[in-house]
Structure formats: C-alpha cells, structure tokens
C-alpha cells in the first residue's frame, strides 16, 4: 500500500472543518493530513489549532485569502507522499470509505486522476452537470508538479485547469459517484446576495482560467474529438 497525503483547503468553514478532519484522520490509508487555511475570518483557524493538539496535522495559515488554486498548490508543495487526495472542507454528510473509492483506481493503474462527485436530486433524478469541477479528487503528485505555478494563479478555475492539463497530455480521468456524501450549499453558508455574488465570481474565475490556458483547452478539445482519451 502506498502512502497517501490528504490535503484539505479551507476558507470560513467553522461548522464543518472539525468533522472533516476527524473523518480523514480515521482513514487507515491516509498517513499525512495537510490543512491549508486560506485566510479564514471566522473560527476556522482556532478549530484547526485545537485539532492539532490531538491529531497529527500539518497546518498552514494565510493571513489573506489567496484562492483555492493557490492553497491546493501549497498543499502539494508540503506533501511528502506520492499520492494526493484533495478533500473538501464543507462536507456535511460524510460516508465511510469514500477516500478508498478514489484511491483504488490509481493503485490499480485504471486512471491517472479520479474525480469523486456528488449529485443533487432534480425531478426525482440524481444529476450533476459539472462533475469535472468536483473538489474531491485523487492523483499522483508528480503529474501536477509541473503546473504548480499555473495552479497558484487559477483560484476557482483550478478544477478546469487540471481537467485541461490531464486530457491534453493524454492522461485518463475516472469519474466515481460518491453516493451519500453531501456538501454545504453556499446559500446555507451566507446570505442570498453574497452567495449569488460568490457563484458569479467563481464562474468568471473558471472562464478566465480557461481562456488564459487556451492552448491546453484547444488540445483538450482535439483529444476529445479524436477519441484518443477515455474518460
């Protein structure tokens, strides 16, 4: 069994971060936990430091918010293991074994990156049209080390950047539905106006990252059209 580094990037998640860290700490395949606090203004930092008293955690705290892509890249820079599992900090319902579900395809050489997505129920159907933007994912550190600088600049465009990078380089991506895992909706975290603004800003960051990496986007489209890459 290879060693696994779990990276948890967090911003103002005082209500969920404790349960998320505790659940990861009980996962036998994870032997390193890195928590990157992206300039939280609530009690997140205090909770992380309290957890560190009883759990072996590498905690990194930024004074100001630097964006999701930056925190993920810093987490990778501090990871000592070859396999990385990115874990969202806003999980509200945590299922047993979901990290194993993401790691196993890597260990079996079935894929280069595994995306663990969740769904919402609309008209009695479980759907998620944005599976590739999921926060839960597992991959080999060596595969993203070449683009750490790009990751730091991507903010919420990080997921689309990783998608373009992997597909354009002929790497495989496996999608796995993590049945039962749930996250906290932005509209339940902050006011309606602020949540809507956050969603709009994230959309712009995704679009900006896509255009900034136009070469990768073009190669990705070409790969998908030619059916040389299986997802």
Q: Which CATH number fits domain 4-226: 3.30.70.870, 3.90.550.10, 3.20.20.80, 3.10.450.350?
A: 3.90.550.10
Domain boundaries, the chain: 4-226
DSSP 146: G
Mean of all residue pLDDT scores within the chain: 92
Q: For residue range 198-227, what is the model confidence (pLDDT) as tens digits?
A: 889 889 999 999 999 999 999 999 988 886
User: The pTM is what?
Assistant: 0.92
d(CA 194, CA 182): 21
The residue ranking higher by pLDDT, 10 or 227, is: 10
pLDDT at position 229 is 47
Question: What is the Cα 145 distance to its own chain's centre?
Answer: 16
Q: For residue range 14-71, what is the model confidence (pLDDT) as tens digits?
A: 999 999 999 999 999 999 999 999 999 999 999 999 999 999 999 999 999 999 999 9
d(CA 215, CA 218): 5
Who contacts 56 (Cβ-Cβ below 8 Å, separation ≥6)? 25, 33
pLDDT at 122 over 90: no
């Amino acid at each position: 069994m290879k060693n696994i580094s779990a990276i948890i990037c967090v911003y103002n998640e005082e209500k969920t971060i404790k349960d998320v860290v505790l659940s990861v700490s009980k996962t036998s395949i994870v032997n390193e936990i890195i928590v990157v606090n992206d300039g939280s203004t609530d009690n997140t930092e205090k909770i992380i430091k309290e957890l560190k008293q009883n759990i072996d955690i590498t905690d990194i705290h930024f004074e100001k918010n630097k964006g999701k892509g930056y925190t993920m890249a810093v987490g990778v820079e501090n990871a000592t293991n070859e396999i990385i599992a990115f874990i969202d900090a806003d999980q509200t319902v945590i299922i047993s074994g979901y990290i194993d579900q993401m790691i196993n395809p890597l260990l079996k050489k079935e894929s280069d990156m595994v995306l663990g997505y969740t769904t919402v129920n609309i008209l009695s159907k479980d759907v998620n049209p944005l599976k590739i933007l999921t926060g839960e994912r597992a991959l080999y550190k060596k595969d993203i080390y070449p683009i750490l600088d790009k990751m730091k600049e991507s903010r919420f465009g990080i997921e689309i950047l990783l998608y373009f990078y992997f597909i354009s380089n002929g790497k495989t991506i496996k999608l796995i539905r993590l049945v039962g895992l749930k996250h906290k909706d932005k509209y339940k975290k902050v006011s309606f106006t602020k949540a809507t603004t956050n969603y709009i800003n994230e959309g712009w960051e995704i679009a900006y990252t896509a255009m900034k990496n136009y070469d990768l986007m073009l190669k990705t489209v070409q790969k998908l059209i030619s059916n040389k890459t299986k997802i």
